[in-house]
Structure 1
Amino acid sequence: MRISEAGLPSRAGRRFLLALLGLVMAGAGPAAALDAAVRTPVPATAGYRNAREAMRTGMRDYNAGDKEGAARALEYAAGQGHALALWKLGRMYAEGDGVPHDDLKAFEFFSKIADENADEGPEAPNAGVVASAFTALGRYFLDGIKGSYVRPNVERAYDMFNYAATYYGDPNAQYNLARLYLDGTGVTQDPRQAARWFNLAAEKGHPAAQALLGQLLINGQGVTVQRARGLAWLTLARDAAEGPKDQWIVTLQEQAMAAANERDRAEAQSQVDGFYRRSAKGR
Structure 2
Amino acid sequence: MRISEAGLPRRAGRRFLLALLGLVMAGAGPTAALDAAVRTPVPAATGYRNAREAMRTGMRDYNAGDKEGAARALEYAAGQGHALALWKLGRMYAEGDGVPHDDLKAFEFFSKIADENADEGPEAPNAGVVASAFTALGRYFLDGIKGSYVRSNVERAYDMFNYAATYYGDPNAQYNLARLYLDGTGVTQDPRQAARWFNLAAEKGHPAAQALLGQLLINGQGVTVQRARGLAWLTLARDAADGPKDQWIVTLQEQAMAAANERDRAEAQSQVDGFYRRSAKGR
Query: If the TM-score is normalised by the length of the shorter chain, which range does it land in?
Result: over 0.9
Query: How far apart are 1:23 and its partner, in Å?
Result: 3.8
> CA–CA distance in 2 between the matches of 1:69 and 1:24?
30
Name the Cα RMSD after superposition: 1.4
Counterpart of 1:129 in structure 2 is 129
Task: Tell me if structure 1 keeps the 8 A contact 2:214–2:229.
Answer: yes
Aligned residue pairs: how many?
283
Using the size of structure 2 for normalisation, the TM-score is 0.97
Worse overlay, 63-72 or 112-121: 112-121
Task: Tell me if structure 2 keeps the 8 A contact 1:18–1:119.
Answer: no
> CA–CA distance in 2 between the matches of 1:29 and 1:231?
48
> CA–CA distance in 1 between the matches of 2:199 and 2:54?
39
Distance 1:98 1:249, change over 3 A: same
> CA–CA distance in 1 between the matches of 2:7 and 2:181?
19
Using the size of structure 1 for normalisation, the TM-score is 0.97
> CA–CA distance in 2 between the matches of 1:125 and 1:40?
26
Task: Tell me if structure 2 keeps the 8 A contact 1:118–1:130.
Answer: no
Query: How far apart are 1:30 and its partner, in Å?
Result: 4.2
Identity of counterpart residues, as a percentage? Answer: 98
**What secondary structure does 2:168 align onto?**
coil
> CA–CA distance in 2 between the matches of 1:139 and 1:12?
22
Task: Tell me if structure 1 keeps the 8 A contact 2:12–2:167.
Answer: no
- 1:172-214 deviation per Cα after TM superposition (whole angstroms, max 9, x unaligned): 0000000000000000000000000000000000000000000
**What secondary structure does 1:12 align onto?**
coil
Worse overlay, 23-32 or 111-120: 23-32
Worse overlay, 74-83 or 10-19: 10-19
Counterpart of 2:167 in structure 1 is 167
> CA–CA distance in 2 between the matches of 1:31 and 1:138?
22
Query: How far apart are 1:22 and its partner, in Å?
Result: 2.0
- 1:72-117 deviation per Cα after TM superposition (whole angstroms, max 9, x unaligned): 0000000000000000000000000000000000000000001111
> CA–CA distance in 2 between the matches of 1:266 and 1:11?
44
Worse overlay, 272-281 or 81-90: 272-281
Query: How far apart are 1:6 and its partner, in Å?
Result: 1.6
> CA–CA distance in 1 between the matches of 2:188 and 2:2?
23
Counterpart of 1:11 in structure 2 is 11
> CA–CA distance in 1 between the matches of 2:199 and 2:277?
19
Query: How far apart are 1:281 and its partner, in Å?
Result: 1.4
Distance 1:175 1:31, change over 3 A: farther
Worse overlay, 177-186 or 6-15: 6-15
Query: How far apart are 1:118 and its partner, in Å?
Result: 2.8
Distance 1:110 1:12, change over 3 A: closer
Q: Give the gaps of 5 or more residues in structure 2.
A: none
Distance 1:11 1:274, change over 3 A: closer
Query: How far apart are 1:45 and its partner, in Å?
Result: 4.5
Counterpart of 1:154 in structure 2 is 154
Query: How far apart are 1:17 and its partner, in Å?
Result: 4.5
Query: How far apart are 1:127 and its partner, in Å?
Result: 0.3
Worse overlay, 22-31 or 176-185: 22-31
Distance 1:208 1:12, change over 3 A: closer
Q: Give the gaps of 5 or more residues in structure 1.
A: none
